[in-house]
């Protein structure tokens, strides 16, 4: 089944070039089926790129998915045209009375700031709390994962001595959980961050389950409320060249940076990077949509407010 995206969203043409089946809202309205409704709070600077990365992965499900994009009300994007934001993004106040089957919150380039000093922290907390009563299952990515764990559970983040930058090998603690269905015993995930959360804080906090980690990159995936919340520290959604673009950007800025590890053949930045995480990324989002959204969400979407913890994984 196709992904239902807002008409004229730039990602549509980009995904069609990759032979990914997408449809705009006009054509989707002609199908007599209730699509899953997913809202994406996009905090990344390059919003069109992130839109394409995430919709590419959501499109691999056989389910029809309708996507809304949300923005922070008073935060002006410096890297995305205002016309794009006005055409495709909604403020929280515009959707706060709606209900969604799924929500994705992206990372943001504010990870080295204390949470409380982020200019939109208060609004973000309201959105996080709203998600618990208006969304069946939510995925928090990178800085958003740290922010969500801090807000809901008081988990601290810690500065790293050097940027965790590259593609790292991970394992799973319970391979029989539906979120890991189809995964290999070991899989790769890109990371690009200056801070971390620590396993000992997760393990000693009631309500949190550590699902996956890496010897090199540390905590990767944490689950709460039976799968109503996933906190993911890496960037499984990254396109093949994203780490390369970040590396070139930092080199041109004169920032202290080393090439991303396990990314270029022979660690040679002059070589095209190797894409090691595509299969894992596709399975991650397909499993989330199927087992934690589609199979758990009520048909009357507003009944999501009555859900407790999900039962799929007990």
Buried b (16+ CB within 10 A) or exposed e, 16-55: eeeebebbeeeebeeeeeebbbbbbbbbbeebbbbbbbbb
The CA distance from 301 to 98, in Å, is 9
Spot the catalytic one: 51, 134, 142, 246: 142
Partner residues linked to 41 by β-bridges = 70, 105
142 is catalytic: yes
237 is catalytic: yes
**Coil vs helix vs strand at 11:** helix
Q: At 129, which helix (H) or strand (E)? A: helix 121-134
186 is catalytic: no
CA 35, chain centre distance (Å) = 20
Spot the catalytic one: 134, 191, 235, 280: 235
Residue written as tokens 């995925």?
139
Spot the catalytic one: 66, 213, 229, 237: 237
Q: Which two tokens stand for residue 112?
A: 């080295």
Q: At 190, which helix (H) or strand (E)? A: strand 186-196
Kindly list the catalytic residues.
142, 235, 237
């Amino acid at each position: 089944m196709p992904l239902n995206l807002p008409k004229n969203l730039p990602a549509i043409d980009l995904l069609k070039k990759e032979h990914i089946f997408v449809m705009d809202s006009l054509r989707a309205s002609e199908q007599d089926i209730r699509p899953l409704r997913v809202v994406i709070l996009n905090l990344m600077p390059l919003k069109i790129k992130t839109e394409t990365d995430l919709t590419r992965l959501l499109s691999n499900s056989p389910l029809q998915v309708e996507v809304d994009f949300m923005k922070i009300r008073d935060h002006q994007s410096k890297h995305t045209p205002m016309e794009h934001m006005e055409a495709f993004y909604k403020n929280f106040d515009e959707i706060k009375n709606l209900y969604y089957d799924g929500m994705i919150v992206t990372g943001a380039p504010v990870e080295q700031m204390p949470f409380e000093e982020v200019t939109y922290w208060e609004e973000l907390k309201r959105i996080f709390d709203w998600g618990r009563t208006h969304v069946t299952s939510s995925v928090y990515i990178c800085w958003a994962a740290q922010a969500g764990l801090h807000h809901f559970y008081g988990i601290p983040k810690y500065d790293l001595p050097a940027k965790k930058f590259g593609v790292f090998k991970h394992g799973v603690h319970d391979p029989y959980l539906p979120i890991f269905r189809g995964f290999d015993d070991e899989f790769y995930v890109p990371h690009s961050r200056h801070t971390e959360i620590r396993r000992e804080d997760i393990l000693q906090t009631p309500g949190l389950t550590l699902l996956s980690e890496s010897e090199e990159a540390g905590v990767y995936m944490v689950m709460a409320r039976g799968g109503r919340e996933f906190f993911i520290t890496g960037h499984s959604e990254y396109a093949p060249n994203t780490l390369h673009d970040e590396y070139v950007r930092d080199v041109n800025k004169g920032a202290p940076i080393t090439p991303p590890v396990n990314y270029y053949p022979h660690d040679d930045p002059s070589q095209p990077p190797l894409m090691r995480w595509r299969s894992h990324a596709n399975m991650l989002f397909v499993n989330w949509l199927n087992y934690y959204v589609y199979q758990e969400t009520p048909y009357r979407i507003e009944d999501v407010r009555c859900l407790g913890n999900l039962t799929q994984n007990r």
